[in-house]
Chain A
């Protein structure tokens, strides 16, 4: 078991950023304490069972012992001490990961990305850069990122295991999560909270790239990606899967789901979408993957983005 833990090919125990590292340290610390407790219990149990099992020449039987204040105090106080010891780093870490993660880049200000879940896709808006991506993000390595989370419909949970723990996306609410990638690479991100039929595939890639490369990419997108229109955007509100997309402009111009939890349902109604009884004979077997109708003149550019991104996503980050 120690081998397995030490082996560290488990994503959560192999973090690639300061937030995930703090959580890993806390986890390892707790595992050590817990192993000691488990060991004590296992050893005492085995010892008593061997020694006091009924057998020939049984010794030490005393049916009338009914307690010992001294011992009982010991095993009340020792757990209290352990819990106290564990509380200190727990509370410290809880508060610490609400702060901007430390980073050694010139760019101190965190990059802000709005991550919006909508059954069953991820929509990312970069308000400062005025661009939007779907089902993937590019972030500069090293630089801290502030995710502002919300949902268009059911409650999701934004999670990139190698960068740090998750947080809920809720319609009509905004939650915040700081993450930071220490190394360049592509990380697996996903929705961790059950949202219905398309939940298992509700994933996205996080591409941590060099700062200058990131800036170039942003300029490229601003200049060449299709402009996001409300009509295009509304198509994403219909339940189903989509491929990766890239746009200039963000949907924050006409809706912030943190302030308007009804938007998605209205957008569905506008497009004539009606939910189907899951067992009705006309219900599709699989969750559909929609082709979003993007303004035509720039689609070629768009496709090349998709291709590039698919290339990088075919080799997942594994150690």
Chain B
């Protein structure tokens, strides 16, 4: 007869701590070129502008910009400046860090539809200057709060966050 095969045993945390194991701490480092379209977008951010592109075929105005339209599969070369205001498409109030540690102050990530882009076209960013996160609503108007010009580096973080716009 064949020996029995083990179905799997769940280790308790302390058993795991004590279990025989080896550790590996890789130091993985990468440098990503932004590419043509996003590179130009980042240059715009450095100047305090949100740039979009328009597809000549489907006429969609898109942000983040891209070098080609994934819908029409044609190159895109028409650039335009969008507003730095927009509408909250959806949001969350996040109480945990990326490795699931509790945050003291919650973060409010949101998809923000940018004014001047086609309807429903947005970017991921965070909301700030929010008195009470409970008051954040889908459909709320928001405006970018920029880093001081000298501190901008041409990165998505040149926008610190979006703040609620007074009605």
A and B are interacting partners: no
